[in-house]
Structure 1
Amino acid sequence: MAYELYYWDGLQGRGEFVRLALEDAGADYVDVVRGAKKDGQGMGAMTKIIESKSEPQIPYAPPFLKDGELIVPHVANILLYLGPRLGLAPKDEGQRYVANGLQLTIADMVTEVHDTHHPLASGLYYEDQKDAAKARAKDFIDNRIPKFMGYFERVLKQNPHGDKHMITDKTTYVDLSIFQLVEGLHYAFPRATKKFVKQYPRVQALHDAVLERPNIAGYVDSERRIPFNESGIFRHYPELDQDA
Structure 2
Amino acid sequence: MAYELHYWDGLQGRGEFVRLALEDAGERYMDVARGKPKAGYGTEGMMRVLNSTTEPHIPFAPPFLKDGELIVPHVANILLYLGPKLNLAPKDEDLRYVAHGLQLTIADFVAEVHDTHHPLATDLYYEDQKDAAKIRTQSFLEKRVPKFMSYFERVLKQNPHGDKQMIGDTTTYVDLSIFQIVDGLHYAFPRAMKKFGAQYPRVAAIHDAVLKRPKIAAYVDSDRRIPFNESGIFRHYPELDQDA
Taking structure 2 as the reference length, what is the TM-score of the superposition?
Answer: 0.99
Q: 1:90 matched to which residue of 2?
A: 90
Residues 176-203 of structure 1, C-alpha deviation per residue, up to 9 Å, x if partnerless?
A: 0000000000000111111011000000
Paired letter, 1:238: P
Distance 2:40 2:216 in 1: 28
1:169-208 correspondence runs (5 A): 169-208=169-208
Paired letter, 2:201: P
Distance 2:86 2:170 in 1: 13
- Structure 1 residue 209: deviation in Å? 0.3
Distance 2:184 2:234 in 1: 5
1:103-182 correspondence runs (5 A): 103-182=103-182
- Structure 1 residue 134: deviation in Å? 0.1
Paired letter, 2:44: G
- Does residue 80 in structure 1 map to residue 80 in structure 2? yes
- Does residue 56 in structure 1 map to residue 56 in structure 2? yes
Paired letter, 1:153: E
- Structure 1 residue 57: deviation in Å? 1.5
Q: 1:10 matched to which residue of 2?
A: 10
Residues 165-186 of structure 1, C-alpha deviation per residue, up to 9 Å, x if partnerless?
A: 0000100000000000000000
Distance 2:94 2:236 in 1: 38
Counterpart of 2:72 in 1: which secondary structure?
strand
Residues 124-168 of structure 1, C-alpha deviation per residue, up to 9 Å, x if partnerless?
A: 000000000000000000000000000000000111111110000
Unaligned runs of 5+ in 1: none
Distance 1:104 1:162 in 2: 22
- Does residue 42 in structure 1 map to residue 42 in structure 2? yes
CA root-mean-square deviation: 0.5
- Does residue 99 in structure 1 map to residue 95 in structure 2? no
Unaligned runs of 5+ in 2: none
Q: 1:68 matched to which residue of 2?
A: 68
Residues 28-80 of structure 1, C-alpha deviation per residue, up to 9 Å, x if partnerless?
A: 10000000011111011111000001000200000000000000000000000
Counterpart of 2:5 in 1: which secondary structure?
strand
Counterpart of 2:30 in 1: which secondary structure?
strand
Counterpart of 2:65 in 1: which secondary structure?
strand
In percent, how many aligned pairs have the same letter?
78
- Structure 1 residue 92: deviation in Å? 1.0
Aligned residues: 244
Counterpart of 1:176 in 2: which secondary structure?
helix
Report the more deviating stretch, 61-70 or 159-168.
159-168
Q: 1:28 matched to which residue of 2?
A: 28
Paired letter, 2:204: Q
Distance 1:55 1:185 in 2: 38
